[in-house]
Amino acid sequence: MELPSAVELGRPRREFQPLVDGMAAILSAAIFAFLSPITASMLHNGSTIAILLRALAGAGLPDKPRARRKHAALH
């Protein structure tokens, strides 16, 4: 098994830090009343969903769906 390089290990931090900064900006704006609580929660939740969808798109989907296991029926 090959260990990841230092460059590969730094990649998640580079991608994650702007997300943390953005969330902090949204919450800070809400704390200091630049955003209403509803607007802040919508921005926070919307960006969270966007982040998750981006991560799923980057992960890719398997070429073939997995075969479902048939479970024995309990009687």
Model confidence over 16-73: pLDDT tens digits? 788 888 889 999 999 999 999 999 999 989 988 888 888 777 766 666 666 666 655 5
CA distance 38 to 36: 5
Q: How many CA atoms lie within 13 A of 33 on its CB side?
A: 0
Residue 17 confidence (pLDDT): 80
In tens, the pLDDT along 3-12 reads 666 555 566 6
Distant-in-sequence, close-in-space partners of 35: CB < 8 Å, separation ≥ 6: 26, 29, 43
Instruction: Say if residue 75's pLDDT is above 60.
Output: no
Residue 38 confidence (pLDDT): 93
pTM over 0.75: no
Angle of helix 6-31 relative to helix 37-59, nearest 10 degrees, comes to 160
CA distance 62 to 57: 12
Domain spans of the chain? Answer: 29-56
